[in-house]
Chains A and B, each alone.
Chain A
Amino acid sequence: MNEENISSPGEQSGVSEQITKLNNLLRDFETALDDPQHELLTRLFTERAVLTAMREQVKSSQQQGWA
């Protein structure tokens, strides 16, 4: 089965809606922060993205090991 067929258009649409919702929340939140808060939250969200990437890297390495 071609991997490109795994995700249906409906699933893609759902993800897109989630992204929009998250970005709207971020926009609202960002405008209400003062500079020190903004800097701290920027660091939090970015380090959190690093953590997610690290977990994906571990998972990816394990999958390659099993293959």
Chain B
Amino acid sequence: MSNARFYDTLGVTSQDLAGSVSEWFRYQGFDTYNSTDPNGRIFVEGHRQNFVRSILGLSAALNVVFTPQAEGRVLVELGGALWGDKIGAGAVGFFLFPPLIVTAAIGAWQQSKLDEELFTHLSNYIFSRTGQYPTISVANPYAPYTNYPTTPAYYNYPAAPQSFDNGYYSYGYAPEGQQPPPSGDWPQPTSTTQKASWFEPESMQNIFSASVSRMMTWQKAMEDGVINSDELQSQERLVADLQKQAEDSLNTEQKIKLAEILQEMTNLESTAQV
């Protein structure tokens, strides 16, 4: 889940903005990590973690990406730790045990306040450098979250139409001043010809925990910021139903393997919660 805005930086460079964000992170007590990709995008990651909290996915983390645009404007994207796979294999190692970040979505929600604070910092920084506040416009993602598939099959979605492709985020944003195409115009997933792997190609960690925040069930339950007992029970029923469907589709040997995997997942969660 991310939050993005186009900034007229009034001549302040992306490098300067990234430097100020690094300083802001340090002032907030975060560790910070910067990198630049071959396309000139600057990644600044702020991370406040310790081993226990990182296992539970509750570490505070905020990643900021500066993508230079035409006419001196900059696309500023904020997101949680799920962006690790976009930063590159070197940076992925910065996160401890990605498959255990089952609650990364919780952390992302809890840190949502950081987004506004950081945007405010950027505006104030530009003001301090230029004497003017920047003009800002919200970047429109290609499709609203409600149109995302209910399973991580989105990994198999073809790239967004080239005319809208800003070459970066997998969902992408329409260029400033343009609306994204209607969701109905999106190409259909190609999962019939290619299975989505359960493993991230760069980190080689499984995708399930990192996919939580993108799941409709999670987003719906977290709309009010609280998980109530009805929502919990509903999810338990859904998982039980899916497990039964899965078992019905498997042969005996596969059922045994599934049981072993589910047990290992439970063991891992228990260990992480100790």
A interface residue numbers (CB < 8 A to B): 2-4, 6-7, 12, 14-16, 18-19, 21-23, 25-30, 32-33, 35-58, 60-61
Asked whether B151 lies within 8 Å of A42 as measured between CB atoms, the reply is: yes
- Establish whether residues B246 and A37, one from each chain, have CB atoms under 8 Å apart when the complex forms: yes
Q: Which chain B residue lies CB-closest to A59?
A: B273
Given contacts A43-B150, A57-B103, contact A50 B235 (CB under 8 A): yes
Contact residue among B152, B231, B271 (Cβ-Cβ distance under 8 Å from A18): B271
Partner of A61 from the list B206, B209, B226 (CB cut-off 8 Å) is B226
Dominant secondary structure of chain B at its interface with chain A? helix
Contact B264 A46 (CB under 8 A): no
Indicate if the CB atoms of B192 and A35 lie closer than 8 Å.
yes
Which residues of chain B have C-beta atoms less than 8 A from A45's C-beta? 198, 206, 208, 265
- What residues on B are CB-neighbors of A26 within 8 Å? 198-199, 206, 261
**Chain B interface (Cβ within 8 Å of chain A)?**
50-53, 55-58, 97, 99-100, 102-106, 150-153, 191-192, 195-199, 204-209, 211-212, 215, 217-218, 221-222, 226-227, 231-232, 235-236, 238-239, 242-243, 245-246, 249-250, 254, 257-258, 260-262, 264-265, 267-269, 271-272
Contact check, A54 vs B51: say whether CB atoms are below 8 A apart: no
Q: Which of A3, A23, A36 meets B52, CB within 8 Å?
A: A3
Asked if A50 and B245 sit within 8 Å, CB to CB, the answer is no
Q: Pick the contact of B258: A29, A53, A54 (CB < 8 A).
A: A29
Min distance, Cβ A20 to any Cβ of chain B, angstroms: 10
A contact patch SS: helix
Nearest Cβ on chain A to B64's Cβ, whole angstroms? 24
Is A54's CB under 8 angstroms from B268's CB? no
The answer to whether A49 touches B208 (Cβ under 8 A) is yes
Residue in chain A with minimal CB distance to B221: A54
**B51–A6 CB distance below 8 A:** yes
A49–B212 touching, CB < 8 Å: yes
Question: Would you call B239 and A57 a contact (CB within 8 A)?
Answer: no
**B249/A37 in contact, CB under 8 A:** yes
Which residue of chain A has its CB nearest to the CB of B109? A57
Whether A36 pairs with B265 at a CB distance below 8 angstroms is no
Query: How long is the Cα–Cα vector from A16 to B192 in the complex, in angstroms?
Result: 34
11 further A-B pairs in the complex, CB-CB below 8 A; given A28-B257, A50-B215: A2-B50, A19-B205, A22-B206, A23-B204, A38-B195, A39-B153, A44-B243, A47-B235, A49-B209, A53-B102, A61-B227
